[in-house]
Amino acid sequence: MGKGISNSIERIDGIEANQIVGNLDASQMRFGIVVARFNDELTDELARSAYQCLVKYGAKIETIDLVRVPGAYEVPVIADKMAASGNYNALIVLGVVVEGETQHAQMIIDTTGQTILDISCRHQIPVINEIVGVRTWAQAEARCLGDENTRGWYAAEAAIETARVYKQLG
């Protein structure tokens, strides 16, 4: 097995316990996507790939809401509002933060990451965080450009699968 997550969602062989696994069926589910506009040539691509993934796996266009915000720091407050609404099975949050000459980028990644995790747990909804934090623009491009190989696509797959597991747990 290589680096990362396998696209195959299967039970683990040799474990006789009841195993709860998800699937990539996005039909009859609602998704919210929150996208930072800062670095929009990359965040737009993350949003496109997440959207295309959701549609590929059966989400209807009318069951996907996409909200734009200025930057990564504005993502959590909107994600919190959407999570509190109870209208979604999962949320996807997208942004790109490239390190500069100060520690500001790391502060953004750390605080938004913790806040998004808190939102997910408080509202009992999967919130998949793909606010991509990188050191260079080239690293950002590698993670954000490339259709099914982007962090946006991965985020959508994770949102679908996690929402399906969550639904099974009642």
> Could you confirm whether 123 is annotated as catalytic?
no
Confidence of residue 147 (pLDDT cuts 50, 70, 90): confident
Residues 6+ apart with CB under 8 A from 156: 31, 49, 50, 51, 53, 54, 57, 92, 128
Domain count, the chain: 1
Domain membership flag for residue 5 = no
- pLDDT given for residue 74 in this prediction: 97
- pLDDT given for residue 49 in this prediction: 97
pLDDT tens digits along 97-122: 999 867 888 899 999 999 999 999 99
Domain membership flag for residue 76 = yes
- pLDDT given for residue 1 in this prediction: 40
36 close to 43: Cβ distance less than 8 angstroms: yes
Burial class of residue 129 (count of CB atoms within 10 Å of its CB; 0-12, 13-18, 19+): buried
Domain membership flag for residue 10 = no
pTM of the shown model: 0.93
* Cα dist from 74 to 14, 37, 96, whole Å: 45, 10, 13
Which range of residues forms the domain containing residue 117?
Answer: 31-168
pLDDT tens digits along 41-98: 999 999 999 999 999 999 999 999 999 999 999 999 999 999 999 999 999 999 999 9
Domain membership flag for residue 155 = yes
Domain membership flag for residue 14 = no
Domain membership flag for residue 16 = no
Say what percent of the chain tops pLDDT 90: 84
- pLDDT given for residue 170 in this prediction: 85
Domain membership flag for residue 17 = no
The CATH number of residue 80's host domain is 3.40.50.960
133 close to 33: Cβ distance less than 8 angstroms: no
Domain membership flag for residue 161 = yes
pLDDT at 25 > cutoff 80: yes
Residues 6+ apart with CB under 8 A from 48: 152
Which one of 104, 122, 135, 167 is the catalytic residue?
A: 104
